[in-house]
Amino acid sequence: HLLEGCTAIDNVIVPAMANGTVSADVLVRAESLLDRVGLAARRMHLPSELSGGERQRVAVARSLILSPRLILADEPTGNLDTHSSEMITELLVELAAEIGGMLVVVTHSQTVADRMGSIARLNDGRLLRL
């Protein structure tokens, strides 16, 4: 969920604000992340002015602002069109590789699953590695 009274760029930097690490570098990274999710031109818009898919992409950018070493993504592309889904999947894979982190994705999309390094399937309460 995004903060309704904050612009897209402000929503992206919230974790850095909470962490006390807002700097020019954080603002540049936030701009870059919004650009990479296709929302650079919408950075000053409030959540109420964004579509559901755009809000989801802002939330993904926000989750990546502090370059986490572990990214847990539950249906990160669930409400996105095909193009946006591919963009977000690629961004998650690239950023995890750039920081040497781990990406764990839960998805119903075979296309998204196929982009992951390894796949495990939950079947009748059992985790099966494929």
pLDDT in tens, 21-80: 889 999 999 999 999 999 999 999 999 999 999 999 999 999 999 999 999 999 999 889
The CA-atom distances, in angstroms, between 112 and each of 34, 117, 125 are 21, 11, 22
SS3 119: coil
pTM of the model: 0.86
Report long-range pairs for 95-98 (Cβ below 8 Å, ≥24 apart): 95/64, 95/67, 95/71, 96/71
User: Chain-wide mean pLDDT for the chain?
Assistant: 94
Structure tokens at 12: 């992206």
81-113 residue pLDDT tens: 999 999 999 999 998 998 899 999 999 999 999
| Segments making up each domain of the chain, as ranges | 1-66, 67-130
| pLDDT value for 22 | 86
| pLDDT value for 30 | 97
| pLDDT value for 19 | 84
Under a CB-based contact definition with an 8 Å cutoff, are residues 46 and 5 in contact? yes
Q: What is the CATH number that goes with domain 67-130?
A: 3.40.50.300
Q: Tell me the pLDDT band of 13, cut-offs 50, 70 and 90.
A: very high
